[in-house]
Structure 1
Amino acid sequence: MAATVDAEYERSVALLERLVNQNSGTMNLPGVAKVGAMMTEQLRGLGFTVTWKPLPQTGRAGHVIAVHAGKGGTKRLLLIGHLDTVFEADSPFQRFVRHGEEASGPGAGDDKGGMVVMLAALRAMQAAGTLKTANIEIVLTGDEEDSGDPVAIARADLIAAGKRADVALDFEGLAVEDGRDMGSIARRSVNDWTLAVTGKSGHSSRIFSEAFGDGAANEAARILAAFRTQLPEPNLTFNTGLLAAGVTAAIDTGGSKATAQGKSNIIPAQAIASGDFRTLSEEQTQRVRTKMTAIVADHAPGTDATITFKSGYPAMAPTAGNQALLARLNGVNRDLGLAEMPALDPLKRGAGDISWVAADVDGLVGLGTASRGDHTPDEVVDLASIRRQAKRAAILMSRLSAERRSAGSRAAH
């Protein structure tokens, strides 16, 4: 398997170039579909039955779902990646440019590099004869960077695949710290919140009086300051992304623009703020929501305040099962003569699609390429990382897929 990965390295780089040069910003629906078609061709060549699942009802292009039926009674693997990038069709960052063992380009690492690693590993398994008996399902989403709505439909196929699987492997980027490859066994959730505050308006000379109170702007600031002092706990971050106050204040339906009208001598009647918070478990999510709701409910006299929440990505907690999978990967590293991969601090990794299946199946994240500058025009992929990541994945998948399903496994039930 290792020899196959090395022999086909330039083939992998050439495929990455073709994928990157096809724009697939999330909202470029035809572009996402074209990348899906490119991946479909590759997977069918490996013996997968591939379906393109269009999702017009969510406002997104769709997903690639590929199934390889192997030996009965053996572990079922779910491989996860995504077709889309953050760089839309009007972005000036459009082309793959190679610089020796590095290359720049939109999505070169996130996540087209990851999909190339996945294919390189599967080709290595095919060459070694281990793919033939492997039970593998692949879900390549077309909207990981900006999920379609309703999310229950957008992620239904991925969640269903997770319930069928015994192991989930996510081919997003490899984390590297101080030159050392890291293993990822956890990802934090994303939860959006919106704070709306109202107060009595009038001439600014009357502010803080019993008749007019603090005004909406000051009360919003007090609540946000209370978040900062009362919420902190391990593995939690929270952010205010938009803030506006005035006689009128509003955030647009897209959630990316705030508007306000007022004057320096008028007490603001309205204030609005929005942001997110990220947690490592559903229990932590509920605890933080309860704290925030209580802080907002204790608003100052003469004002009113409400907070609403919208769930985004769930958390992938660092379970014992995930830790055991990292130990298995480190067994592969030892056999390849590679250094052990410590577990990455989940504060250093954003949310991702594997979180949707984390409640149902043990998983690992970060089997894709190493890169830097992701989500910026400075995105650069370490092409050499294709080699070691594909070798790791091919051997790990070969070993896992040869094992019998446990009667006590979550998927077996």
Structure 2
Amino acid sequence: MVDYQAVMDFVSQQEDRMFSVLRDMVLIQSGSYNKEGVDRVVRLISGFFSDTPFHIKEIPQDKFGNHLLVCTEAARVSHKSILVTGHTDTVFPEDTTFNWYREDEERAYGPGVIDMKGGLVVGMFAMKALQHLGLSEEIPVRFLFNSDEEIGSPSSRQIIRELAKESKFGFVLECGSLDGRIVTGRKGKIGIRLLVEGGAGHAAFASEEKPSAILELAHKIIKIEALNDVTAGISVNVGTINGGTGPNVVAKNAEAGIDVRYTEPSQREIILSGLERIVGESIIPVVKSKYRIVSERPPMPQTERNRRLFEVIRDTGKKIGLDVNDEFRNGVSDANLIAAEGVPVVDGLGPIGDLDHSEREYMIKKSLPERTTLFTLSLIESWKRKGEL
């Protein structure tokens, strides 16, 4: 029998400390490329768990911040565990002026307050709650704090996928939507760099078929944008362009940055085939083009197993007076990597807020203890019902 009241009492007793930890974490500047700052966040988290019997392993990195893996006692002996992930980095650069934290009666403000240091606090105190209740010896949880999610998880993606293979199911603590929905599916994403090479020359003496890389790129952009298919859930956006050396010079080189989002795994090849056709066909015969994939996350389909895992959370929420619904999100997260291993996963379990990735980012304060209670109980209930998942 799950003691719901004991969980709610623990979270209530810890609420002041939760906001204190959140404040301390937010005030550490931890942009993705600020290794020193991200490592300070990792040390804060390690210190938070220093009085527990949990296994704490720091995973050193040369370029990016270190990762941290925290495991309950049960996870050290169990073949299949619950995987929890959350990232310690933010989108804000080291020299940002958005380097403060404040609260009013209803909201907390600061860089990463919901994306996703608030989610880290939810997971950290849920782990402490399991220990307090004597359940950390029974429920195997592996919590990976990774340092580079905001830039595509280049150094942590393989760690996440390997941990996913050893997991029964997974939870990701990105923020919840304003209406309280959590995530059972996400689009996939491909980041592409398109490179065009022509021939330089003086603009005053250009021929009719001047080998301008910029002109060729302009033709290609129109065709690439035509790959959009809103009905099918496919979005293709040419978001950056660069090229040329001056107005009086025919551009030898040009490039574009392209963001692709899609819903179904099968759509990936359709999109890339269309792109390859566009890249391979030159309007200006002597101009050549090529592309390369610079980042990628596969889609997270709304599978039946994801749905069953969500239903555990929904049922748990009802018992504590929280109305929980699910949604499909266009954005990506590390949940996409877990889903790629065929492991059921639910995301968006962090606190509720809005305007992340901006200097107006805020959290609705009451959602921090609410989501901590919900997540703690969901860990307990999902492991209890693991045979159904």
In the superposition, the TM-score normalised over structure 1's length comes to 0.84
The answer to whether structure 1 residue 227 and structure 2 residue 209 are counterparts is: no
Paired with 2:94 and 2:203, the residues of 1 have a C-alpha distance of: 48
Aligned to 1:309: 293
- Mapping 1:113-262, distance limit 5 Å: 113-147=118-152, 151=154, 153-176=155-178, 180-199=179-198, 209=208, 212=209, 215-233=212-230, 234-246=232-244, 260-262=245-247
Cα displacement string for residues 286-339 of structure 1 (whole angstroms, at most 9, x for unaligned residues): 221111111222221433332222333332222221121112111112212222
Q: Aligned residues, how many?
A: 379
The answer to whether structure 1 residue 110 and structure 2 residue 115 are counterparts is: yes
SS in structure 2 of the partner of residue 185 of structure 1 = strand
SS in structure 2 of the partner of residue 261 of structure 1 = coil
Question: Residues 216 and 84 from structure 1, CA distance in 2 versus in 1: closer, same or farther, beyond 3 angstroms?
Answer: closer
Paired with 2:246 and 2:362, the residues of 1 have a C-alpha distance of: 43
Structure 2 stretches of 5 or more lacking a match?
1-6
Aligned to 2:35: 29
Paired with 2:269 and 2:182, the residues of 1 have a C-alpha distance of: 27
Q: Which of these residues, 293, 296, 310, is aligned with residue 276 of structure 2?
A: 293
**Contact 2:73/2:136 (<8 A) preserved:** no
Paired with 2:365 and 2:292, the residues of 1 have a C-alpha distance of: 44
The root-mean-square deviation of aligned C-alpha atoms, in Å, is 2.5
Aligned to 2:95: 90
Paired with 1:299 and 1:398, the residues of 2 have a C-alpha distance of: 59
**Contact 1:193/1:308 (<8 A) preserved:** yes
Aligned to 2:66: 62
Question: Residues 82 and 268 from structure 1, CA distance in 2 versus in 1: closer, same or farther, beyond 3 angstroms?
Answer: closer
Question: Residues 304 and 97 from structure 1, CA distance in 2 versus in 1: closer, same or farther, beyond 3 angstroms?
Answer: same
Deviation, structure 1 residue 221: 1.5
Deviation, structure 1 residue 147: 4.7
SS in structure 1 of the partner of residue 180 of structure 2 = strand
Aligned-residue sequence identity (percent) comes to: 22
User: Aligned partner of 1:241: which letter?
Assistant: G
**Contact 1:79/1:136 (<8 A) preserved:** yes
Cα displacement string for residues 372-391 of structure 1 (whole angstroms, at most 9, x for unaligned residues): 22122211111211122111
Comparing 68-77 with 37-46, greater Cα deviation is found at 68-77
User: Aligned partner of 1:217: which letter?
Assistant: I
Question: Residues 328 and 403 from structure 1, CA distance in 2 versus in 1: closer, same or farther, beyond 3 angstroms?
Answer: closer
The answer to whether structure 1 residue 5 and structure 2 residue 11 are counterparts is: yes
Paired with 1:307 and 1:173, the residues of 2 have a C-alpha distance of: 34
In the superposition, the TM-score normalised over structure 2's length comes to 0.89
SS in structure 2 of the partner of residue 37 of structure 1 = helix
Paired with 1:322 and 1:35, the residues of 2 have a C-alpha distance of: 31
SS in structure 2 of the partner of residue 226 of structure 1 = helix
**Contact 2:177/2:354 (<8 A) preserved:** no
SS in structure 2 of the partner of residue 306 of structure 1 = strand
Question: Residues 46 and 403 from structure 1, CA distance in 2 versus in 1: closer, same or farther, beyond 3 angstroms?
Answer: farther
